[in-house]
Chains A and B, each alone.
Chain A
Amino acid sequence: MKRVYPNKDFCIGCHICELACLTAHSKSKDLILAYTVERNEEGLSSCKHVHEGGPTCVALSCRHCDEPSCVAACISGALQKDPESGRTIYDREKCVGCWSCLMACPFGAIARHPLENKIVKCDLCHDRPGGPACVAACPNMALKQEERS
């Protein structure tokens, strides 16, 4: 499957991917409204997080693992592997907010929703025509979506 691969040698820590993620997952699809209104009122948050270690930066999110620890840990079936697409999919309705996945994922790819007992996790922008918004937005090709085995 095509996954998003981060390159820490190219990342300049500009956080544009986070903003693109925020916008892509907003209702308004408008950066300013997403950031000023939806983020504050609805707890809209980015699935992508830029990690900074001194001069080095890298933007990370769910790897859509082949054998995901989060799926093994999920007590409700909200997290499952989609056999067709290979994505690790999340069903918000089923989730009970037990944080088992957050504990089990060794990639720190799961965050608590700021307002509700739900999680926030990358969905690979599966219904976005142009593919993942973060990849499209990165000005320095530090994020690549491609097939590697």
Chain B
Amino acid sequence: MTYVIIGNGVSSIGAIEGIRRHDQKGKIVVIGAEDAAAYGRPLISYLLAGKIGADRLALRGDDYYTKNGVDLKLGTTVTKVDAAKKTVETDKGETIAYDKLLVATGGIPFVPPIPGVQGADIYSFTTLAHANTLIDLSKSIKRAIVIGGGLIGLKAAESLFDRGVAVTIVELAPRILSAGFDEKAGKLAANRLKNVGIEVNCGVTAKEIQRDKNGRVKGVLLTDGRFLESDVVVVAIGVVPHSAIAKEAGIKVERGIIVDAKLMTSAKDVYAAGDVAQAIDQLSGEHRVVPIWPNAYNQGYGAGRNMAGAKLPYAGGLPMNSISFYGLPTISVGVVNPPEGDTTYEVHALLNEEKETYRKLVFRDGRLVGYVLVGDIDKAGMYTAFIKFEMQLDGKAKDKLINAGPEVFLWPAELFDEKWNPEMSKAAR
């Protein structure tokens, strides 16, 4: 049995661990375009900020690939997948045959067609190479504009600022982190950034990136008519699935590569996982691209197990994000912005501006389906339990959850025993 994995990010690590759960012998080949062994992609912001050194980036130990019997081909790009012949071709001229293939190619930065966006002084922030480029650059530039107030944009802004660069964030939506936050949480976070000296502009975007006669960036003209001077522009709007090789192989792709309950694509023995995949979402049951780290690992792991013959369905992803703003921790999980006017949802929000704390709980049909915590995050996991295990709450339990917070005694007794004291539940039956 030969397993081939395209991409060497966290879904690939998940896949190696999933495969090895069931098959200690099969050959695993990992082909990664980047030069480094799998690293914590989110850590590039810690690196750029100067909080950690390059020696702390690797996700697993030095002997990880050898120990797991992985043939690792770094700095190598797969140029073609032939799902009929069951081979992949690389830019090094190799043709590699597979029995099971995983496409874990991640995302690529989305760059919108803003006039002036092509050319010098425009940067992305999604790879170690990008971080190293920005570290060098930060020594010579004074001002940067970051387009995008989502996770990646905010992280880029914060870490460039920590390198002594004056930073302005430009975000089209009315608040930062519009996907995972509501207005109140967005405001608390934005205030933290503003207080340290990062400029945050919401509800506007770049109309044109203006350049001097040498083609160098002068600044950005905003949709509200203002012109902001800048030496460079970091475009950090998000990532789009890196699905080209799958598409060219005739594999079904919508927004991302479509996968079934076992994470297999429309081509037999070809699986997909991570930022490139459009996989099932636990709460909605819909197939969605949710480019977050835990989903990438879990999908890789699930795909790996099924590639090794486990026949286990993937439980579905749950949107979740934990991000801190200069010491202000925030967490958001599940559905946090229910569709406006949809009365099947019930929202309980509690804001304390002075203490910089916020808690929002979203219920639907007697279940917790989402929450936001700002400041006081210590009980996050206990809230997550109610969403993940889809616990049905009667009125009293719901009131307790709202008024006293999550508590393990609100769990149904059978669930408690199953998770905490498994043999007991069998005996009780």
Q: Which of B60, B321, B421 has the most CB of A within 10 A?
A: B421
Contacts of A109 in B (CB 8 A): 381
A113 to chain B, nearest CB (A): 12
Q: A129 at the A/B interface (Cβ < 8 Å)?
A: no
A128 to chain B, nearest CB (A): 22
Identify which of A53, A63, A96, A110 contacts B420 (C-beta below 8 A): A63
**Would A96 and B385 count as touching, CB distance under 8 A?**
no
**Would B380 and A76 count as touching, CB distance under 8 A?**
no
Q: B331 at the A/B interface (Cβ < 8 Å)?
A: yes
Contact with B along A48-82 (1 / 0, CB 8 A): 00010110101010010001010111011100110
B300 to chain A, nearest CB (A): 9
Q: B141 at the A/B interface (Cβ < 8 Å)?
A: no
A6-B421 contact, Cβ under 8 Å, with A53-B407, A98-B322, A104-B294:
yes
A104 to B295, CA, bound (A): 11
**Would A67 and B301 count as touching, CB distance under 8 A?**
yes
A97 to B49, CA, bound (A): 15
A97 to B420, CA, bound (A): 27
Contacts of A135 in B (CB 8 A): none
**Would A73 and B294 count as touching, CB distance under 8 A?**
yes
In chain B between 312 and 364, which residues have their CB closer than 8 angstroms to a CB of chain A?
Answer: 320-324, 329, 331, 333
A110 to B52, CA, bound (A): 23
A103-B331 contact, Cβ under 8 Å, with A5-B421, A98-B42:
yes
**Would B293 and A103 count as touching, CB distance under 8 A?**
no
Q: How many residues of A contact B (CB 8 A)?
A: 41
Q: How many residues of B contact A (CB 8 A)?
A: 49
Contacts of B384 in A (CB 8 A): 103-106
A144 to chain B, nearest CB (A): 9
Q: A139 at the A/B interface (Cβ < 8 Å)?
A: no
A81 to B21, CA, bound (A): 11
**Would A104 and B419 count as touching, CB distance under 8 A?**
no
A88 to chain B, nearest CB (A): 13
A56 to B410, CA, bound (A): 12
A72-B298 contact, Cβ under 8 Å, with A105-B384, A108-B379, A108-B381:
yes
**Would A94 and B56 count as touching, CB distance under 8 A?**
yes
A112-B301 contact, Cβ under 8 Å, with A103-B322, A103-B333:
no
**Would A99 and B324 count as touching, CB distance under 8 A?**
yes
A99-B329 contact, Cβ under 8 Å, with A72-B297, A94-B56, A108-B385:
yes
In chain B between 361 and 398, which residues have their CB closer than 8 angstroms to a CB of chain A?
Answer: 377-382, 384-385, 388-389
A111 to B376, CA, bound (A): 12
**Would A99 and B377 count as touching, CB distance under 8 A?**
yes
Q: B424 at the A/B interface (Cβ < 8 Å)?
A: yes
**Would A5 and B420 count as touching, CB distance under 8 A?**
yes
A54 to B421, CA, bound (A): 20
**Would B17 and A81 count as touching, CB distance under 8 A?**
yes
Q: B54 at the A/B interface (Cβ < 8 Å)?
A: no
A3 to B427, CA, bound (A): 18
Contacts of B33 in A (CB 8 A): none
Q: A28 at the A/B interface (Cβ < 8 Å)?
A: no
Closest to A98 in B: B322
Closest to B409 in A: A53
Contact with A along B270-298 (1 / 0, CB 8 A): 00000000000000000000000110011
**Would B294 and A69 count as touching, CB distance under 8 A?**
yes
Identify which of B320, B333, B377, B419 contacts A107 (C-beta below 8 A): B419
**Would B377 and A77 count as touching, CB distance under 8 A?**
no
Contacts of B14 in A (CB 8 A): 72
**Would A96 and B381 count as touching, CB distance under 8 A?**
no
Identify which of A71, A80, A148 contacts B422 (C-beta below 8 A): A148
Q: Can you report 25 residue pairs joining A to B where beta carbons are below 8 Å apart?
A: A5-B424, A7-B421, A58-B408, A72-B294, A75-B41, A76-B40, A77-B59, A81-B17, A83-B20, A96-B51, A96-B56, A99-B322, A99-B324, A102-B331, A103-B331, A103-B333, A105-B384, A106-B388, A106-B389, A107-B419, A108-B381, A108-B408, A109-B381, A111-B378, A148-B423
The 7 tightest CB contacts between A and B, nearest first, are A53-B409, A106-B385, A77-B59, A72-B297, A108-B382, A73-B294, A105-B381
Q: Residues on B close to A: CB < 8 A? A: 14, 17, 20, 40-43, 46, 51-52, 56, 58-60, 293-294, 297-298, 301, 320-324, 329, 331, 333, 377-382, 384-385, 388-389, 406-410, 416, 419-424
Q: Residues on A close to B: CB < 8 A? A: 5-8, 51, 53-54, 56, 58, 60, 63, 67, 69, 71-73, 75-77, 80-81, 83, 93-94, 96-100, 102-112, 148
- A108-B408, A112-B377 provided; 19 other pairs, C-beta below 8 A? A5-B421, A5-B423, A6-B421, A8-B421, A53-B407, A53-B408, A54-B409, A60-B408, A69-B388, A76-B59, A96-B46, A96-B56, A98-B322, A99-B324, A102-B322, A103-B320, A103-B377, A106-B385, A108-B381
